[in-house]
């Protein structure tokens, strides 16, 4: 950005409701601050100029914290200092702290020298409030579901303990109820536990994962389940962009299905290869395969195949797995295994150039409804010590 575009920058930032500022690099003083600074931070424009001019440790100093070190590093050739994003709190005159995100960029003159610092300030208060409400709602759901489930779990244990002479059919019903209760309680622990809620506000995990690591983890899980398994992996990219836990969940669902619908002790094969500007991760079993009549619907939400009678499950597994993969811009398909059985192939794009979003531009309406909060990419934030 050059100074010739500063007016356009201010107009665009303010149209979006953000606070825009421009600071002269030589003096460290503001040459422009949006009129809405009073609404967001409680300071008038004249107050801002006075604070910058007379109080270097003022409540607004974090806006340009580390500017001189940043300029030095940029002049030394560190191009990463051209644009920086940070999150922190700014103190209002009334004593209230406002959580903000500040994105700033250096404005260069025609010789490529940094002349001014332009930035936008976004108030994160509403987003933080939504996160708190989500946590509160999830905590309420956890409690409301866990209480009756605990009652059911205790009741079924008492029935088993006090009715030792029950016939086999009755004992099987007891076991089905107990297993279903255990699965639901485990889901609460996985998705609505206080520990999981506490993670919501923390810094995001890395949004890359080695594909070979995903395959090796899948092999380890199959062996723990007592299955012989072979890994066939060709040369794979070092990293895939995506949310690691989401991709692990999709592969775990495929493994759970293979364990459920194939004979105990039958072998599995875990496969990995490059294909069509991406990578294929696959799981092949040696079972009887998917019944032909079910092929068109196995990824539908809530659908259970004709071979699922008497087996635990909700019909959501493959639907969830495909939804996760589609959010990452990939596909999940079933193919007939060459020697019988079923093979599920997960294809994900491989990003050769940095910075491109891998989220799919087209997903099914069910997936959009069910995964509105999911993204496949994150924006890295730098802390104040690294301006």
226 and 172: one domain? Answer: no
pLDDT digits (tens, 9 = 90+) for 188-242: 777 666 666 555 544 445 578 899 999 999 999 999 889 999 999 988 999 888 8
Pairing of strands 331-336, 278-285: unpaired
pLDDT digits (tens, 9 = 90+) for 156-178: 888 888 888 888 889 888 888 98
**Alpha-carbon span 185 to 178, nearest angstrom:** 11
Does residue 347 carry a pLDDT above 90? yes
Asked whether residue 307 is domain-assigned, the answer is: yes
281 and 140: one domain? Answer: no
How many domains would you assign to the chain?
A: 3
- CATH number of the domain at 95, please: 3.30.450.20
Residue 9: pLDDT band (50, 70, 90) is low
Mean pLDDT, residues 8-21: 68
Asked whether residue 217 is domain-assigned, the answer is: yes
Sign of CA dihedral 366, 370, 373, 374: negative
Q: What is the pTM of this model?
A: 0.43
Mean pLDDT, residues 120-147: 81
308 and 275: one domain? Answer: yes
94 and 28: one domain? Answer: yes
Asked whether residue 8 is domain-assigned, the answer is: yes
Mean pLDDT (the chain) is 78
Does residue 348 carry a pLDDT above 50? yes
Domain boundary among 123, 142, 159: 123
Residue 353: pLDDT band (50, 70, 90) is very low
Does residue 344 carry a pLDDT above 90? yes
315 and 343: one domain? Answer: yes
44 and 97: one domain? Answer: yes
Is the model more confident about 206 or about 365? 206
- Lowest average pLDDT, out of 24-28, 56-60, 97-101, 286-290, goes to 56-60
136 and 245: one domain? Answer: no
Q: Which of 221, 183, 25, 158 is nearest to 104 (CA)?
A: 25
Residues forming beta bridges with residue 331, ordered by sequence position: 347
State what percent of residues in the chain have pLDDT above 70: 78
pLDDT in the model for residue 56: 60
State what percent of residues in the chain have pLDDT above 90: 15
Does residue 364 carry a pLDDT above 60? no
pLDDT in the model for residue 356: 38
- CATH number of the domain at 279, please: 3.30.565.10
60 and 159: one domain? Answer: no
Print the domain residue range for 260.
208-370
**Alpha-carbon span 268 to 259, nearest angstrom:** 9
Q: Which residues contact 303 (CB under 8 A, 6 or more apart)?
A: 294, 297, 315, 319
Does residue 98 carry a pLDDT above 70? yes
State the angle between helix axes of 244-261 and 317-327 in degrees (0 to 180), rounded to the nearest 10.
Answer: 150
Residue 8: pLDDT band (50, 70, 90) is low
48 and 167: one domain? Answer: no
Reduce the DSSP state of residue 336 to 3 states and report it.
strand
Does residue 101 carry a pLDDT above 70? yes
């Amino acid at each position: 950005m050059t100074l010739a575009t500063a007016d356009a920058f201010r107009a665009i930032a303010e149209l979006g409701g953000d606070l825009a500022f421009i600071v002269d690099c030589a003096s460290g003083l503001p040459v422009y601050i949006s009129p809405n600074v009073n609404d967001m931070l409680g300071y008038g424009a004249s107050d801002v100029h006075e604070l910058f001019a007379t109080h270097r440790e003022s409540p607004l100093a974090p806006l340009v914290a580390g500017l001189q070190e940043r300029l030095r590093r940029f002049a030394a050739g560190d191009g990463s200092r051209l644009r920086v994003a940070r999150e922190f709190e700014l103190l209002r005159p009334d004593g209230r702290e406002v959580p903000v995100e500040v994105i700033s960029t250096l404005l260069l003159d025609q010789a490529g020298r940094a002349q001014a610092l332009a930035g936008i300030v976004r108030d994160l208060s509403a987003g933080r409030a939504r996160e708190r409400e989500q946590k509160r709602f999830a905590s309420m759901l956890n409690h409301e579901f866990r209480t009756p489930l605990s009652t059911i779990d205790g009741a079924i244990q008492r029935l088993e303990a006090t009715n030792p002479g029950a016939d086999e059919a009755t004992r099987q019903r007891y076991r089905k109820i107990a297993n279903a209760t255990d699965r639901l309680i485990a889901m609460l622990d996985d998705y609505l536990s206080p520990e999981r809620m506490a993670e919501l506000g923390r810094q995001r995990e890395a949004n890359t994962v080695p594909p070979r690591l995903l395959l090796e983890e899948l092999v380890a899980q199959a062996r723990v389940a007592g299955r012989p398994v072979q890994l066939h992996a060709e040369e794979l990219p070092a990293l895939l962009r995506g949310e690691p836990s989401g991709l692990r969940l999709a592969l775990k669902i495929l493994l759970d299905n293979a364990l459920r619908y194939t004979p105990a002790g039958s072998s599995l094969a875990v496969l990995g290869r490059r294909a069509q500007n991406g990578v294929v991760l696959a799981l092949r079993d040696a079972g009887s395969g998917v019944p032909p009549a079910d092929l068109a619907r196995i990824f539908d939400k809530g659908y259970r195949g004709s071979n699922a009678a008497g087996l635990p499950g909700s019909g959501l597994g493959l639907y969830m797995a495909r939804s996760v993969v589609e959010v990452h811009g990939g596909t999940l398909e079933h193919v007939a295994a060459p020697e019988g059985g079923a093979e599920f192939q997960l294809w994900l794009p491989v990003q050769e150039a940095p910075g491109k979003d891998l989220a799919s531009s087209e997903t099914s309406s069910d997936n959009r409804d069910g995964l509105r909060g999911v993204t496949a990419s994150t924006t890295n934030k730098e802390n104040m010590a690294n301006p």
